[in-house]
Amino acid sequence: MILLSLSFNSYSQKNIVLIPKEYNGLNWSQFVEKLENHYHIRFFYEDDILSKQVVSIKDSISLNDFLEMEMRNTNLHFLDDGNGNYFISKSEISNYDLSDLFISDEKEPEIEDNDKTNENYLKTNNDYANRTIIIGSRKKAKNGKKCTISGYVRSSENNDPIVGCTIYIKKLGIGAVTSSSGYFSITVPKGLHILTASSIEQNEKKITIDVRSEGTLNFFMEKRLVSLDEVVVTGDSYDNVRSTSMGLERLAIKNVKYIPQMFGEADLLKVALMLPGVQNTGEASSGFNVRGSPSDQTQFFINNVPIYNTSHLFGFFSAFNSDVVEEFKLYKSNIPAEYGGRLASVFDITTTEGNKQKFSARGGISPIMARLFVETPVQKEQSSAYVGFRSTYSDWILKRVQSPDIRNSRAGFYDVVTGVNYKIGDNHQIELFGYLSSDDISFSTLADYKYENIGGSLNWRYRLNSKSKFNLSTVYSRYWFEEANHEVALNAFRHQFEIDNYKLKGVLNFIPNNNHNISTGFESTFYSIQRGKHMPLADQSVVSAINLGSENSIENALFVSDEWKILPYFTVYGGLRFNNYNFLGGQNVYHYENNSPFEEETIIDTSFYKNGEIVKTYNSFDFRLAMNYMLTTSLSFKASVNSLHQQLFQLSNTISISPTAKWKMADYHIKPLEGYQYSVGVYSSPDATSLELSTELYYKTVNNLVEFKNGADLTLIEIPETEIVQGDLKAYGIEFMLKKKSGRLNGWLNYTYSKSEARVQSPIIENEINYGNPYPTNFDKPHAFNLVVNYKFNRRFSISSNVVYNTGKPVTYPVGIYYLDGRRIINFSGRNEYRLPDYFRVDLSVNVEGNLKAKKFAHGSWSFSVYNLLGRKNAYSVYFKNEDGKINAYKLSVFGAPIVTLTYNFKFGNYAD
């Protein structure tokens, strides 16, 4: 029981001298923070014992002498372990007691086999956490071999919970993942185990635990100091191989900071496009096409708030402030049962929790926009508040564009994210969150567009016991747009659309033991759509006001899922979701002649449903099945089958989705979309490498796909079913992904081969698209290759590059000319029969960090980035004009030249701060 620090004296930081000028008058947390910043030392103490103290240093004094003195005055004890770790406690401390700092429920001096413990300790040198931590006590131990350990993993930097951290005991092949509150629970046999914790942004941590009874294990993880080389996508090597989740991609904002991007703006969603299976229809398109599905089949949540339009300014920027976003998860094959209502994928965006310790602010200025983010504790340790704001001043760029339409346009947008988190005791947490994104775009003198997403959520997290927790959310979200068209004064109009939804969702998570992870809950959403208000705009306008009326519906769902570890190497995930969708009145429902197309002329009867009356109910069962079979500890085979239903969809007949595409719900005549996806995959993470290889094969079908009839008038659809036709979609593909997660050279490379084909057939010719023949969807790009690579020469200098290649998107070309009364008319091919030229882009960025001095006021870094380095004029679209009797083809490239941005970043503190 002699202090082991003696043997490590050479590592001790005895030479730290405290100068009154620097340290006198600080309170303890400032004092500790300053020391931790300047020296490679770390303090461990319970927050309440020192927080009120003020440090008083009159003369220069060595740190250890000072502590000795100070502790004597306050009846506290401290221990310097010789490795720069300082422990302060109310009671006498020995190295063995260090574990008590992490264990809240038991303190019991234990007599141990010294040799063994020493061995553990000696092996680990500078890693404090690598000592044996005793959990529980033998006295408390119950009969039976297994004990449940639970606790919280938090960030050593700001005490934030670490979400999605994998806790894994390699020898036993068991593991757990932390929840959104950082909570985990794992059941292990009694005895000594080495527990590995890893997460995206933190250093991997190994903890040796000695389990004696049930107990708590709370610990901190350190932020990785060198984020320069980080382009890592997934949490850790085991996660992808061991979990049953397929097609799950995770990306954290900090990790994509150095990837070269358009206008130097760190944009998480744009990086998502470099993941396998994620496409869009070009630079100016909102929404993502995941695995061959239209963009309305992907749902976006930011802290549970659904977002209907995820982009600013015609899709050039995503509507999420990078300072606020912590990470996103993208589920593209096995979608957990708690999510429903969209067929293709779920983007789950998580914001920062707000700093509960300290006021903090960051911000940025780019040629396009400025942003500011502020976070502060409200009550220290208990509650935090944050607000992020971003706004543009991009008009000057538009003025430089040649086309008069764009030159005379104005573009304004801003977004605000704000939240408050409040912890009540150990078991309750309340979170309030608000989001607003607003665009105001004036397109030349022709039209103005305004659109806005606004939403908020109130979450209550309740930890019932070590094995179960409950989460209740109430969510409100609204999207609206207004189009003002003054092209022709006579029929100048203003058109408004709005969708609102109110949601209540409860999820109960229950982990009875290591082999089961059960989740169950309900979701109830009320949707209201204002289908369109059409109003005259100017005095001369003789447009008559039209109100298309509103649509209401209520969607209820019950879900249950279990992740069941049948064998140590075989895990099955099963989920069931019951959807009950009710389309509500007041509504006129039209009835049509049998076997004739839905047209105004064929209406034979109308029935009226009163407000709130159920017009039509659609009930459906969704199932989710996934399994993971571990062939070796680093190689697994997975398969999944999903069935899903979608009641809300977007109406669009443009190639890229515009901000004014309306949302529509399934109604009396238009049926909900129905989808199935089958995937299989092999995942490998070879030992002793930072490589991760995976391949996934998928096949999906969608029934009741919604398409517009050719030439449908979009603004004023009085009777939707007369303009809409329903068809089928079929998509399949294979994705290969190779990741190197760390090292000087890191990044990822992926290749996807995929097909996506739609078909709209009908006995009535007018209702068919492409005469009933199948056609490739607008986002069908069979070959897609992405390379994201970062090479770090040293700590100060690194180079990153992207290489993006994909097959040109499908396009409908003119194939002939004909004449009507002397006028030339272009005759087009079948839909999407041709393809645009292939897309190819290389981006490059060079990052240079300022000097690495520890003591400095501010740290600067330079980032020089070139988007589209080769200046390739990638076709966004091709269109044809009938000019002077000739049909001319034109190619529009959104970026026709390299975009060079030189960025200077600076922050207060040193490189590592």
- Asked whether position 893 contacts another protein by CB under 8 A, the answer is yes
d(CA 907, CA 913): 9
Strand 305-307 versus strand 298-302 pairing type: antiparallel
Work out which of 8, 44, 96, 698 binds another protein, going by CB under 8 A.
44
Residues 389-418 that bind another protein (CB under 8 A): 397, 399-408
- What is the smallest separation between the CB atom of 601 and another protein, expressed in angstroms? 10
- Asked whether position 890 contacts another protein by CB under 8 A, the answer is yes
Residues 796-825 that bind another protein (CB under 8 A): 812-825
Contacts of residue 236, defined as CB under 8 A and 6 or more positions apart, other chains included, come to 166, 198, 199, 200, 204
- What is the smallest separation between the CB atom of 399 and another protein, expressed in angstroms? 8
Work out which of 564, 833, 846, 870 binds another protein, going by CB under 8 A.
833
Work out which of 150, 442, 726, 901 binds another protein, going by CB under 8 A.
901
Work out which of 279, 333, 778, 806 binds another protein, going by CB under 8 A.
778
- What is the smallest separation between the CB atom of 352 and another protein, expressed in angstroms? 12
d(CA 76, CA 55): 15
Closest by CA to 572, choosing from 531, 627, 652, is 627
d(CA 349, CA 646): 21
Work out which of 5, 16, 36, 840 binds another protein, going by CB under 8 A.
36
- What is the smallest separation between the CB atom of 184 and another protein, expressed in angstroms? 20
**SS3 for 800?**
strand
d(CA 782, CA 801): 23
Over the window 171 to 210, marking each residue x when it contacts another protein by CB under 8 A and - when it does not, the resulting string is ----------------------------------------
- Asked whether position 875 contacts another protein by CB under 8 A, the answer is yes
Stretch touching another protein by CB under 8 A, among 138-146, 326-334, 487-495, 793-801: 487-495
Work out which of 363, 568, 612, 763 binds another protein, going by CB under 8 A.
363
Work out which of 5, 24, 27, 37 binds another protein, going by CB under 8 A.
37
Stretch touching another protein by CB under 8 A, among 100-108, 206-214, 245-253, 899-907: 899-907
CB 845 within 8 A of CB 260: yes
- What is the smallest separation between the CB atom of 130 and another protein, expressed in angstroms? 17
- Asked whether position 43 contacts another protein by CB under 8 A, the answer is yes
- Asked whether position 765 contacts another protein by CB under 8 A, the answer is yes
Which residue do the tokens 């600080």 mark?
Answer: 26
Residues 247-286 that bind another protein (CB under 8 A): 263-264, 284
Work out which of 393, 570, 608, 771 binds another protein, going by CB under 8 A.
771
Q: How many residues bind another protein (CB under 8 A)?
A: 125
- What is the smallest separation between the CB atom of 500 and another protein, expressed in angstroms? 25
Residues 287-346 that bind another protein (CB under 8 A): 314
Residues 118-177 that bind another protein (CB under 8 A): 156-159
- Asked whether position 104 contacts another protein by CB under 8 A, the answer is no
Closest by CA to 863, choosing from 794, 788, 797, is 797
Closer CB to another protein, 233 or 769, in the complex: 769
d(CA 487, CA 496): 17
CB 666 within 8 A of CB 672: yes
Q: Which helix (H) or strand (E) holds 398?
A: helix 395-399
d(CA 441, CA 659): 11
- Asked whether position 724 contacts another protein by CB under 8 A, the answer is no
Closer CB to another protein, 462 or 834, in the complex: 834
Stretch touching another protein by CB under 8 A, among 30-38, 111-119, 496-504, 790-798: 30-38
**SS3 for 525?**
strand
What are the backbone angles phi and psi of residue 667, rounded to the nearest 5°? Answer: -135, -155
Stretch touching another protein by CB under 8 A, among 330-338, 510-518, 642-650, 881-889: 881-889
How would you label 512-544 residue by residue, b for 16+ Cβ within 10 Å and e otherwise? eebbebbbbbebebbbbbbbbbbbbbbeebebe
d(CA 308, CA 477): 9
Closest by CA to 162, choosing from 223, 212, 114, is 223
- The whole-angstrom distance between residue 321's C-alpha and the CA centroid of its chain comes to 12
- Asked whether position 656 contacts another protein by CB under 8 A, the answer is yes
Closer CB to another protein, 138 or 824, in the complex: 824
Closer CB to another protein, 73 or 827, in the complex: 827
Strand 146-155 versus strand 215-216 pairing type: parallel
Stretch touching another protein by CB under 8 A, among 229-237, 683-691, 731-739, 880-888: 880-888
Residues 436-475 that bind another protein (CB under 8 A): none
d(CA 456, CA 561): 27
- Asked whether position 623 contacts another protein by CB under 8 A, the answer is no
Closer CB to another protein, 120 or 653, in the complex: 653
- Asked whether position 225 contacts another protein by CB under 8 A, the answer is no
Cα 265 to Cα 253, 297, 326, 547, 862, distances in angstroms = 12, 27, 16, 41, 14
C-alpha R_g of the chain: 30
CB 898 within 8 A of CB 867: yes
Over the window 664 to 703, marking each residue x when it contacts another protein by CB under 8 A and - when it does not, the resulting string is ----------------------------------------
Q: Which helix (H) or strand (E) holds 616?
A: strand 614-632
Over the window 537 to 556, marking each residue x when it contacts another protein by CB under 8 A and - when it does not, the resulting string is ---x-xxxxx----------
- Asked whether position 27 contacts another protein by CB under 8 A, the answer is no
Work out which of 5, 24, 124, 905 binds another protein, going by CB under 8 A.
905
d(CA 128, CA 121): 9
Contacts of residue 524, defined as CB under 8 A and 6 or more positions apart, other chains included, come to 503, 504, 505, 554, 555, 556, 557
